[in-house]
Structure 1
């Protein structure tokens, strides 16, 4: 509990919510303001985004992007690994042509996969992603994982410090406004800090009540690094995870007249994190966005964290 409270305190000092990503309309035309967070490089990131990992039905992806932007999302997260950048790009093109948003209203993230970790591979890999997305730049480019691999998936002997040099070059060229990492631990981040010119703006990691990641999050906040939380609903698919009928969770949801998923997202936002829930369902996307009209108490946040077993849904 002490560790969690110190994390919240650090967040309050580190990241002042400092803007809005437009006045958007959520469920039933409800007025929704999506706050943004200032990154350590001065850029701003909306504090809730649309994750796209596992978007299996390719034809639905383009439509999903249209629905998401119409609902109010401005932050869209993808990766070379997901093999959906081209369809996401078509969706982005649609909403720009419709005049729903301007390019500068959107915050687009993609990621460098493990088989492109050599310094001279980073910029070409990003250019390939940009071509698929139909964009001149991304707002955030992440090293997807610290582990390098060859094209066949076998391990490659490439230090991520070399990879980071390529990331810095991509930022210098204006191909990525911000650069960061994903699935890195504190020791790996500190090596980058000690040997590089640019500190990562973001670390994207798995976070939900069964994998609260309190130490890593605390360490990131101490280093002025924002944390994006993927798999926010992994709570219920984790090994031995609770049922959505758990009375402690249900009572919180009933108190605020919200769904369990909305409570899970609010829990992460209360902790200073940036959740990226995924959905291709129009109504679910709207529901996931409707989390800015209530707050959890510190006790309720602690209750949600009490389910922690340090369990990854990918382990």
Structure 2
């Protein structure tokens, strides 16, 4: 990637799903520091320490799954009663509430939609009142929605070897039932 920057083919380098520690490890060998880190970020997984540290390092955080979409069919942030209540109170959609919160806290956002109306609606961001912003801040559960257990890899170093093996085995067993 650094050679592509040197050749003028790209202007900057980004990473995805890097923790602070992984970025610091990267700095030991990289000449060019990443300018963006794409991570899972929504009210249930705010990663505030990583966000603040990244700001200090001039690394933009891009949040994927800002609505709390997930691969495990667990309750999503966009369906949280507090988010729905705030949306009704402010005359916005739950998605607009979550996207606005994400931007207001200092992250770039990647909402996903194929519906033209939703794409247009997702662009209508606004500044949340401070009490609404704080209410969303209180929802942090440190809960990943997109943890790739099926890969059998603890990519964030949060779960441990035993969990990794069990998660991979459970996913394989579930696939055998589906097929």
TM range (shorter): 0.7 to 0.9
Q: 2:33 aligns with which of 178, 182, 199?
A: 199
SS of the residue corresponding to residue 192 of structure 1 reads helix
Instruction: Give the match for residue 22 of structure 2.
Output: 188
Give the secondary-structure state (helix, strand or coil) at the position aligned to 2:12: strand
**Matches for 1:1-315 after TM superposition, within 5 Å:** 167-234=1-68, 239-241=74-76, 244=79, 246=81, 248-291=82-125, 294-315=126-147
The answer to whether the 8 A contact 1:210-1:238 is kept is no
Other structure's SS at 1:308 match? coil
Match of 2:153 in 1: none
Q: Give 1:311 shift.
A: 1.2
Q: 1:177 to 1:204 in 2, by over 3 A?
A: same
Tell me the TM-score normalised to structure 2 length: 0.74
Change (3 A) 1:243 1:188: closer
Q: Distance in 1 between matches of 2:67 and 2:8?
A: 34
Is the CA contact (8 Å cut-off) linking 1:229 and 1:275 kept in structure 2?
A: yes
Q: Structure 2: how far apart are the matches of 1:209 and 1:238?
A: 17
Distance 1:289 1:307 in 2: 23
Q: 1:196 Cα shift?
A: 2.3
Q: Is the 8 A contact 1:207 1:231 kept in 2?
A: yes
Q: How many residues align?
A: 146
Give TM-score scaled by structure 1 length.
0.43
3-state SS in 2 of match to 1:234: coil
Once the two structures are TM-superposed, the CA of residue 201 in structure 1 deviates from its matched residue by: 0.5
Contact 2:67 2:76 in 1 (8 A): no
Residues 184, 203 of structure 1: 8 Å contact kept: yes
> Contact 1:277–1:288 (CA<8 Å) still a contact in 2?
yes
